[in-house]
């Protein structure tokens, strides 16, 4: 538009300038470069053939560098002014008598009227209009798929080419999420499978370094990758190590992000104790005791001893033996949390242990720290493996020693105790065989951390139930999957582990689903239903820190029904997931 303005000499403009008012169809310029125009403070009227009938009604004012398009309401007003003017004033401009202009204008009016008129004579049709689309069709509020907050959530989908992953990506796109897809190679075949606006990141779950960029900017992760074969190496790489690598990359990213804000990530674990030097053993005291306070104890006193020391190899070792019946030894410390931190913002403990595979009792003392006599004791039994392992103990699994006491309130916890007792020890499998004496123990402590709590799940892992896998490889597959699940649980991320029955490729939402814990399912499930569960679980607080099996409901043959069907039919309209999951146990 600006380019045409200087082309009109002022003299020509004066000729044209019969009327002060501007007519629709003229484009006015307020040219700051031409001084004559500015001094007379008049607009330069100029004829321009308007290519579009609608366009001609709106005016462009070019003022310096800023161009301003009038909002719609103003245009309407101006149009009215023009119409008002037309009736009383008889002043005729060149524009008015120009037959071409007249014809064009009359045609515009006629077209508009005709359009509306002919619309009446039709079966209702929608004009596809961008502004309507944004409200009705895309992720607008009128779209049945839209989820509030989806636009601000970035989800990384690992395994986008899997049967479940493909549907997950589509479902996320429909709901307006920002989706990142992790692919190994950006092959055209793979890219064609994914919606176009998905952000593609190249990486391999087996390569920790390649995941760094993938997790950047992500809020949540859905992991539905699975090993291509049942070769142990493959299984380990994808189902076990892959999960570990992704959780680690994600946690690292969260921590880095938190450091930028000079704080701690709400998803990072809280270190309660780390045993890496001799000083770190300070404050831990070893105690002995028996459950029997009477003569019985003395009668069966076989002796017991325990010590907690820092060895030359750099390990903190708690070891000893308990031969006394009903006796125990324990290692205890008063917890000192960093300033401003309380355990109520945490979900449980994760302990890194090594040793000879005995089981221990964790005891938490809770109560006002000023008055230890009011403390209440809570216990949870943990078992370790030979060698090193990490154990996750959610606070919800602690039970009061006195059954009448209220459930554990993590806020009040002040003392942590690890107790060994020879009761209920199971011999560990391995080379030691039956020769081992279950009354002696060795425990190498590495660290004790608290797992953060949160509202929503951060990481959804699609695992499997083992059904439908060829029997000879089932054990290996399950072992890898289980290891992957465990590494996720210990990561501190809010997790949801979905274990679907054998996958079937059919549309979802057709049959009722059963949610269960405890490996009792027998039916298959459609990939689309699993995908729907994943997407729904993203914002469902009941899904946090849960593992569950899911499959189609078993439909008995007619006449053989044993029970009434009370399962959850998946659909977008009903939120089947919350009621289904709320009855399931947490931290599984």
Partner 1 sequence: MALRCSSLPTKVEVATPHHLHYFHTKSYSHRLASLCWRRTLSQDDIFSAAASSLSAPLQPSSSQDRSCIPLRVKCSASTAAAINLAPGTPVRPTSILVVGATGTLGRQVVRRALDEGYDVRCLVRPRPAPADFLRDWGATVVNADLSKPETIPATLVGIHTVIDCATGRPEEPIKTVDWEGKVALIQCAKAMGIQKYVFFSIHNCDKHPEVPLMEIKYCTEKFLEESGLTYIVIRLCGFMQALIGQYAVPILEEKSVWGTDAPTRIAYMDTQDIARLTFIALRNEKINKRLLTFAGPRAWTTQEVITLCERLAGQDANVTTVPVSVLKFTRQLTRFFQWTNDVADRLAFSEVLTSDTVFSVPMTETYNLLGVDQKDIVTLEKYLQDYFTNILKKLKDLKAQSKQTDFYI
The answer to whether the beta carbons of residues 522 and 501 sit under 8 Å apart is yes
C-beta neighbour count of 462 within 10 angstroms: 27
- 279 or 505: CB nearest partner 1: 505
- 122 or 434: CB nearest partner 1: 122
Please state the closest distance from residue 141 (CB atom) to partner 1, in A.
Answer: 4
The CA distance from 563 to 551, in Å, is: 17
- Binding residues among 134-153 for partner 1 as defined by CB under 8 A: 135-138, 140-142, 144-145
Please state the closest distance from residue 177 (CB atom) to partner 1, in A.
Answer: 12
Task: Work out which of 122, 188, 313, 434 binds partner 1, going by CB under 8 A.
Answer: 122
User: Judged by CB under 8 A, does residue 66 bind partner 1?
Assistant: yes
User: Judged by CB under 8 A, does residue 120 bind partner 1?
Assistant: yes
Report DSSP letters for 449-514, one per residue.
EEEEP-SS-SEEEE---STTS-HHHHHHHHHHHHHHHHHHHTTSS-EEEEEE-SEE-S-SSSS-EE
Please state the closest distance from residue 534 (CB atom) to partner 1, in A.
Answer: 12
Question: What are the C-alpha distances in Å from 145 to residues 571, 572, 575?
Answer: 11, 8, 13
The answer to whether the beta carbons of residues 72 and 131 sit under 8 Å apart is no
Task: Work out which of 506, 522, 555, 582 binds partner 1, going by CB under 8 A.
Answer: 506
The CA distance from 158 to 10, in Å, is: 67
- 74 or 344: CB nearest partner 1: 74
Of the candidates 174, 113, 105, the residue with the CA atom closest to the CA atom of residue 138 = 174
Please state the closest distance from residue 111 (CB atom) to partner 1, in A.
Answer: 12
User: Judged by CB under 8 A, does residue 132 bind partner 1?
Assistant: yes
- Binding residues among 404-463 for partner 1 as defined by CB under 8 A: none
Q: Tokens standing for 154?
A: 């970035």
Q: What angle do CA 278, 280, 284 make, to 5 degrees?
A: 105
**Do the bridges between strand 376-383 and strand 495-500 make them parallel or antiparallel, or are there none, so unpaired?**
unpaired
- Binding residues among 522-551 for partner 1 as defined by CB under 8 A: 526-529, 531-532
User: Judged by CB under 8 A, does residue 110 bind partner 1?
Assistant: no
3-class SS at 394? strand
- 289 or 524: CB nearest partner 1: 524
User: Judged by CB under 8 A, does residue 117 bind partner 1?
Assistant: yes
Task: Work out which of 72, 261, 282, 435 binds partner 1, going by CB under 8 A.
Answer: 72
Please state the closest distance from residue 193 (CB atom) to partner 1, in A.
Answer: 9
**How many angstroms from the chain centroid is the CA of residue 173?**
14
User: Judged by CB under 8 A, does residue 389 bind partner 1?
Assistant: no
- Binding residues among 306-325 for partner 1 as defined by CB under 8 A: none
The contacts of residue 301 (CB under 8 Å, 6+ apart) are: 324, 327
User: Judged by CB under 8 A, does residue 100 bind partner 1?
Assistant: no
| 196 φ/ψ angles, rounded to the nearest 5 degrees | -65, -35
The CA distance from 427 to 358, in Å, is: 8
- Binding residues among 169-228 for partner 1 as defined by CB under 8 A: 169-171, 173-174, 192, 194-197
Task: Work out which of 65, 88, 99, 125 binds partner 1, going by CB under 8 A.
Answer: 125
User: Judged by CB under 8 A, does residue 76 bind partner 1?
Assistant: yes
Please state the closest distance from residue 192 (CB atom) to partner 1, in A.
Answer: 7
C-beta neighbour count of 289 within 10 angstroms: 15
Task: Work out which of 325, 333, 423, 572 binds partner 1, going by CB under 8 A.
Answer: 572
The answer to whether the beta carbons of residues 366 and 409 sit under 8 Å apart is yes
The piece of 49-57, 117-125, 422-430, 554-562 that touches partner 1 (CB under 8 A) is 117-125
Of the candidates 333, 322, 362, the residue with the CA atom closest to the CA atom of residue 442 = 322
Helix axes 471-489, 243-260, angle to 10 degrees: 10
Total binding residues for partner 1 by CB under 8 A?
A: 56
Question: What are the C-alpha distances in Å from 440 to residues 287, 297, 431, 435?
Answer: 16, 19, 17, 12
Point out which residues bind partner 1 (CB under 8 A): 66, 68, 71-72, 76, 116-129, 132-133, 135-138, 140-142, 144-145, 166-167, 169-171, 173-174, 192, 194-197, 505-510, 526-529, 531-532, 572-573
């Amino acid at each position: 538009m600006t380019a045409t303005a200087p082309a009109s000499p002022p003299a020509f403009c004066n000729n044209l300038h019969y009327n002060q008012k501007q007519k629709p169809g003229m484009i006015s310029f307020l040219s700051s470069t031409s001084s004559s125009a500015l001094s007379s403070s008049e607009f330069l009227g100029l004829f321009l053939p308007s290519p579009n009938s609608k366009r001609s009604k709106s005016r462009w004012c070019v003022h310096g560098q800023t161009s301003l398009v009038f909002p719609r309401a103003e245009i309407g007003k101006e149009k009215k002014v023009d119409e008002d003017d037309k009736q009383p004033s008889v002043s005729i401009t060149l524009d008015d008598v120009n037959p071409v202009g007249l014809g064009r204008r009359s045609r515009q009016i006629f077209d508009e009227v005709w359009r509306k008129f002919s619309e009446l004579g039709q079966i209702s049709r929608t004009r596809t209009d961008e502004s309507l689309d944004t409200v009705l069709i895309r992720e607008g509020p009128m779209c049945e798929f839209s989820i509030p907050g989806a636009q601000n959530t970035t989800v990384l989908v690992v395994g986008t080419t899997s049967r479940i992953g493909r549907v997950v990506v589509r479902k996320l796109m429909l709901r307006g999420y920002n989706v990142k897809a992790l692919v190994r190679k950006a092959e055209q075949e793979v890219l064609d499978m994914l919606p176009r606006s998905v952000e593609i990141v190249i990486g391999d779950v087996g390569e920790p370094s390649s995941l760094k960029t993938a997790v950047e900017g992500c809020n949540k992760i859905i992991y539905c990758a699975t090993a291509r074969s049942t070769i142990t190496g493959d299984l380990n790489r994808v189902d076990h190590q892959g999960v570990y690598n992704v959780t680690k990359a994600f946690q690292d990213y969260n921590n880095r992000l938190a450091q930028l804000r000079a704080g701690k990530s709400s998803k990072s674990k809280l270190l309660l104790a780390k045993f890496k030097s001799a000083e770190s053993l300070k404050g831990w005291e070893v105690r002995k005791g028996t459950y029997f306070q009477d003569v019985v104890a003395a009668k069966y006193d076989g002796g017991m001893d325990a010590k907690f020391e820092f060895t030359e190899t750099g390990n903190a070792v708690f070891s000893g033996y308990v031969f006394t019946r009903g006796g125990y030894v324990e290692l205890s410390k008063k917890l000192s949390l960093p300033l401003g931190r309380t355990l109520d913002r945490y979900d449980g403990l994760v302990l890194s242990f090594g040793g000879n595979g005995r089981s221990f009792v964790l005891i938490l003392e809770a109560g006002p720290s000023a008055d230890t006599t009011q403390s209440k004791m809570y216990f949870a039994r943990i078992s370790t493996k030979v060698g090193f392992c990490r154990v996750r103990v959610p606070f919800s699994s602690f039970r009061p020693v006195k059954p009448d006491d209220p459930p554990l309130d993590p806020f009040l916890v002040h003392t942590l105790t690890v107790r060994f007792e020879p009761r209920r020890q199971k011999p560990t499998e391995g080379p030691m065989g039956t020769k081992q004496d279950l009354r002696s123990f060795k425990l190498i402590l590495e660290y004790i951390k608290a797992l953060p709590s949160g509202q929503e799940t951060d990481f959804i892992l699609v695992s499997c139930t083992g059904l439908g896998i060829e029997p000879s490889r089932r054990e290996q597959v399950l072992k890898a999957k289980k290891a992957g699940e465990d590494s996720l649980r210990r990561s501190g991320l809010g997790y949801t582990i979905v274990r679907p029955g054998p996958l079937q490729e059919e549309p979802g939402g057709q049959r009722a689903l059963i949610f269960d814990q405890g490996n009792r399912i027998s039916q298959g499930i459609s990939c689309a239903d699993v995908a729907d569960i994943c997407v729904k679980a993203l914002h469902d607080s009941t899904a946090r820190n849960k593992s569950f099996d899911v499959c189609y409901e078993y439909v008995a043959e007619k006449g053989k029904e044993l029970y009434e069907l009370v399962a959850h039919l998946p659909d977008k309209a009903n939120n089947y997931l919350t009621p289904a999951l709320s009855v399931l146990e947490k931290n599984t």
